Structures are given as structure tokens and as C-alpha cells.
Amino acid sequence: MAEEIKYRTCNLCEAICGLEITVEDGVVSKIRGDKEDVFSKGHICPKAVALKDLYEDPDRLRYPLRKVDGKWERMEWEDAFEYVADRLVSIQKQHGDNAVGIYQGNPSIHNLGTTLFSPNFVRSLKTTNRFSATSVDQLGHHLAAEFMFGHMNKIPVPDIDRTDFWVIMGGNPIISNGSLMTAPDVSGRLKAIQTRGGKVITIDPRRTETAERADEHVFIRPGSDVYLLLAVIREIIARDEIRLGHLADIIDTAQIEQIRELVDPYTVDLAVAKTGIPKETIDSLITGYISAKRAVWYGRLGVSANRYGGLCHWAINTLNILTGHFDTEGGAMFTSPAVDIANRKSRTPKFNRWQSRVSGLPETGGELPSGVMVEEILTPGEGQIRAMVTSCGNPVLSVPNGNKLDEAFDSLEFMVSIDIYLNETTRHADVILPPATGLEVPHYPVAFHNLAVRNTANFSEPTMPKAEGARYDYEIFLGLQQAIEKRTLSEEEIEKKATYYQMNPELLLNMGLSAGNTGADLSQLKANPHGIDLGPLRSNLKEKILTNSGKIDLMPSIYIDQLQSLTQIEEDQDTYLLIGRRHLRSNNSWLHNSQRMVKGPVRCTALLHPDDAQTLALSDGETITVSSDVGQVSLPVEISDEMMPGTVSIPHGWGHHRDGIQMSVAKAHAGVSMNDLIDNKIVDTLSGVSVISGIPVQISAGSAA
């Protein structure tokens, strides 16, 4: 029996764990944590073995398909590229460039070929109707980074390996394995904080799995985070606890005075009224955070995806900066990655350079909020989207108002999907182009080394061969781009692109490495299959800041309107507030076609506090219907005191009940999609991002008719 041991970085989530994979006679027989991996040191989660399931999945598509009279037929790759280019370009010639839209799902950033080659393909479409998963849950982080530090990807990460006081707001990193914070083994790192005498505090409407391991958990009313954050800033200033430290000469103190005036109405008493957190809890939280030598405040999805998510991330950066917990050990810090994706100054902020046609919502970083896709497809008029490209995403399940988007996709003149599954979204496509993926591709987690709690670099060779005749993702993007540009560019312009058309991920990656922070090249990475350790995070903001002034913009003007108006907002108190949740064996809608990831008790349940269940006369396991202004879903209720009274939680990524999908395991564990309850028109007025956390809903016993 021929046995080989191979090493690679897991690409299923942001934690980038090192894997040791045993291959016997050409079959993956074991997947374990790589104990010698310089970053993860042997840690993995149960999802890692799903890489084998993905590789072997009989439902996976392996060659191009075209829908003819409602039936799927096989296509040759080159024919598919030409056909897709023909359809897209002819629709654009007839209706304008913006008649084609593109949505890129979250796995885009988890695949090296897509990360490196999809941007130029998107540019070749020349459309402003670009959407991605970024605007579902994390745009607030990027906006704050753009305006405060000069680059959308200059996002600070919590230095959890050296902090003594970690506030986690609206995040559940023990289950997500870290998000916009790449940190394999969050459990171990959290325990280490406690072992060295530090403290971890979670703030969340649900007592999450992370909260269970924290020193303290604070319930907060969904969507009210901003009032707590502004009260903290107000108290820092009122208590005269501003410590700018080494950043003093890149901070304009007049802006601190401006902040003092703007946050003055946001008292602790107001925060108590809005958040439901007792006054003494807020006081002790602020005192603990201010007085800790090394502390960091971290906010994630619950904070990002609410009505004031954009403002919340300005507030989190600001309170970390004002207290000296920024760009210092144990605070919020920036990485020094081997491939740096936040190293180019932009002359003007990439925000609001164009607006969506129907609702006038702003562009951020070259894309519009995904919530407007529905109306941009369904509303007639000049600029209406008539054709869509989707790439590694399932927006019918992952974008607000999924049911409506499902209808909208059905109305398109043409759709092409780059995806490995025939799923709830791709079933609407006319052509599906499935790339080689997972174990079959080389990997370097470009984005996640930029967001990691330690500087490391790790390149993975393909572990398994791709199917005969299959194409890599980058080959698909290059094939489509070339076929489109053949129809839209002059011969001279095409000639200039000849070298690019011959590129591959290794060549581009090597260029990125040579321009990065370490000077490492690909051959060095290849010689170190367990990765290269580049050391802990280090203070670098003064040398790396990218604002035009060379200073932190502590009070960007875009936030001022919201800061001046929040006190007048009255929230409706008469409904339940819906929040999402995630499970360790799920990753959004990925992995639901792996039997070992979905087996066991039903996970798609509505969590509800016992007092609320009693009021509604519900018993555990009973079917309930949860309704909002845009939809309703029926699912079992799970009664648990981990919920804050008045809130209900449904996990996202489920809802595999639709006809025409080819995912046998997922279909057998269908569940419902919480996104069917989310009104894409309720948005963060700053960024235009649809609100997905804290949605008002009604609950009733029984199944919807």
C-alpha cells in the first residue's frame, strides 16, 4: 500500500489551520492537525475532514453544464467560455454595461485562484452592479479602515495572545474560529488569557459558546450596541482617561474635542435604557477596560450587521485608540504580512463614487450593497440588471430577502454561475462552470494572513489531483475574461494583455511576496510546508498609515450625521428581535452536503427564552412560525435560557428545500433560511448594508399554512 503524508492549510474558514493529510493508494484516509504548523500547532475543528467529503462528493459538478429546454447538458470548456461571453456581451451591447451584474460569495476569498484572478475578470465586465458577501456582514469594518487609516483592508485585529482584557461584542469566535481575526484555536488562546490572570467578557443577546468560557457575559438588546459604545467613549473622555501614547503625533487633538461634543448626549443612562444592561455592569465594564494595562475591544457580526454597524466600527476603533489600546501589544494591532493587501494609498476614499440605480445607496470599495440586487433586477428601466454572474456564492440563502432574490434570478435573461454545486442559486443559471477546488488546488490565504493574530506565511501545494479535464478557478476566470475581451477590446489592447493571460496563481503570488513585508519568495515557502513564522504583531501604524495626511482621521465626516441623530430614534419594543447563529460544523451555507457535518439532532431551530415560551404557551420542540414584514418560516422551537428575553435566534445558511437542486444530503436536512425573514430595504443609513441582526419578528404556534 502506497502511503503519503501531505501538508496543507485548511481553506474552510478564516483560522487557516495546518493539516496533515494521509493519502493511501490515491485516497485520503486521514486528516489531522499538523502539530508542526507554525501558527495552528496541531489545532483543527470538525470541519477539516469535510475537505475529503468535498473532494469525493458524488453531487459535485466536474464539467460545464448548459440548461437546454429545462435539462442540463454537458459542454466543452472552450465552447462554454465563448457562449457565456457571447450572451453577456450581446446583452451589454443592447442594454448597456450595467445590464450585467456580478455577485461573489464568501468562498472567493478562501480560494487563491479566485482571490487573485477574479478582480480582473470583474473589471472586464465594466459594470458598476457588483455585489459580494462583504456587504452582508463586514462592510462597517472596511469603511472605518478606509476613512480612519487610509485603506479598506487596513483592519486592526485584536492581539489576543498578549492582551489581559478582551471584550468580545457580537461575536462567537469559539464557533466561528475567528472572523476578521484569524486565530486558530481560539479556545486555547482564550484560556491562555485567563491563565495569565486576564479577563474575557462577552456582550451578546445570546449566551454563546464563547460566553460559556468567558469570565463574564453581558446580555445586550440586539441592535443597541452603538449606544453602549458611544457611552464608553463619552466616559473615557469625561473621566479624563485619554492616553494617546506613541500615536499622539498622528492624532489631531481638535478631533478629540469634536468627538467630545458629538458623544455628549450618549450617557450611560441612555445606554442603560437602550441596551437593557444594568448601570453598574456598564460602569464596571468601562472601568475594567480602561484600567487594564493591555486591553482590546473587538466587535463582529452582531455589531457589524445592525442598523448602525458602520458607526459601531468607528466607535470601536476610537475607544481602542483613545485608551492607548491601539497599535500596542495586547491591543488592536495591524499585521506585517508577507503579501500585503493594504499597502497602496488611494487618493480619494472608495466610497459613494456611484450609487445604486433604484434606492441611491452608496458604493463601497467598488461594490454596491448586496441587498439592492433584488430591486436592481426586478425594477424596469435603463440600467436594469438583465444578466447575472455568480461566483462561489449562494445568495438565495445568504443575502437578505432570499425568497425575493430567488424570484428575481428566475426573471433574468441570462445567468452564469461559477460553482461546484447545483444549488438554490445556481439552479437559475443557464450555464454552470465548476472549478477544481479544496484539496485539488494550491493555496495561500492572502487575506487571512493580513488579518491574523500572528505574522506567518504558508503556501500549500495541491494535495490531490483534479479530475481529468477539470479547470482551476483561475483558468475559468482567465478563459471568460479572454473571451469577453476578444469581443470588447481592440487588437492592440488585447496584445498588451498577452502576458497576463498566461499568468497563474504561483506567478502572481510571487510578485505579491516580493512587494510584501518580508522579501520571502515562493521557493522559501515551498521549502517550509509547515509555514514560516514571522513573529508576533508589532507596532507599525506610524510607518504604514495610508491616509493622505499621514495621520489617523479620528472623526471622519461621514459618521457625523448619524452621531447627531441617534438620540431621537425610538425602537419598537413590541416584537421579538431576530438574530442569527452559527454552528461549529457549518460555515454559512457551505458543507451542508457532507453527511458527517449535518448528522445528529436537528440544528435549524428557533432558540427562545423560557419566559417567552411560557408567554406564548410553547413547549420544547413544537413547531412555530416566525414572521416578518417580508416572509415567514416554520421550524421547531428550542427553549433555552441562553437567549435574552425578547429575542429569538435562527441559524443562517439553511433552507435546502427548493426544487431543482442536486445536493442530496443538504436536501434531506433542509431547514429554513433566516434570510427569508430579512427585509433588504431596512439598511444601515451610512453604508446601505441591509440589517440582518435585530430584525423585528412575530412568533406564533404551529406551521404556516
Could you list the residues that contact ligand SF4 (CB under 6 A)?
10, 12-13, 15-17, 44-45, 47-48, 177, 184
Q: Could you give the C-alpha distances from 310 to 14, 87, 300, 585, in angstroms and in order? A: 22, 38, 11, 29
Least distance in Å: CB of 303 to ligand SF4? 22
Nearer residue to ligand SF4 within complex by CB, 464 or 644: 464
Nearer residue to ligand SF4 within complex by CB, 17 or 167: 17
Nearer residue to ligand SF4 within complex by CB, 15 or 263: 15
Least distance in Å: CB of 17 to ligand SF4? 3
| Helix, strand, coil percentages for the chain (3-state, nearest 5) | 35, 20, 45
Least distance in Å: CB of 513 to ligand SF4? 22
Least distance in Å: CB of 477 to ligand SF4? 24
Nearer residue to ligand SF4 within complex by CB, 176 or 398: 176
Least distance in Å: CB of 103 to ligand SF4? 23
Least distance in Å: CB of 446 to ligand SF4? 15
Nearer residue to ligand SF4 within complex by CB, 364 or 460: 460
Distance CA 649, CA 628 (A): 14
Distance CA 563, CA 566 (A): 6
Q: Which residues pair with 388 in a beta bridge?
A: 101, 415
Helices 473-488 and 77-95, interaxial angle, to 10°?
50
Least distance in Å: CB of 184 to ligand SF4? 6
Task: Say how many CA atoms lie within 13 Å of 145 toward its Cβ.
Answer: 26
Q: Which helix (H) or strand (E) holds 217?
A: strand 216-218
Nearer residue to ligand SF4 within complex by CB, 45 or 65: 45
CA 534-538-539 angle, 5° bins: 155
Nearer residue to ligand SF4 within complex by CB, 13 or 54: 13
Q: Which residues pair with 332 in a beta bridge?
A: 158, 326
> Is the distance from CB of 304 to CB of 138 less than 8 angstroms?
yes
Distance CA 18, CA 346 (A): 35
Least distance in Å: CB of 23 to ligand SF4? 18
Nearer residue to ligand SF4 within complex by CB, 326 or 444: 444
Q: Could you give the C-alpha distances from 80 to 416, 441, 656, in angstroms and in order? A: 10, 22, 28
Least distance in Å: CB of 11 to ligand SF4? 7
Strand 295-299 with 165-169, pairing = parallel
Least distance in Å: CB of 457 to ligand SF4? 16
Instruction: To the nearest 10°, report the CA torsion of 58, 598, 402, 352.
Output: -90
> Is the distance from CB of 331 to CB of 324 less than 8 angstroms?
yes
Distance CA 268, CA 235 (A): 8
Nearer residue to ligand SF4 within complex by CB, 187 or 346: 187
Nearer residue to ligand SF4 within complex by CB, 182 or 335: 182
Distance of CA 331 to the CA centre of its chain: 22
* 382, three cell numbers: 435603463
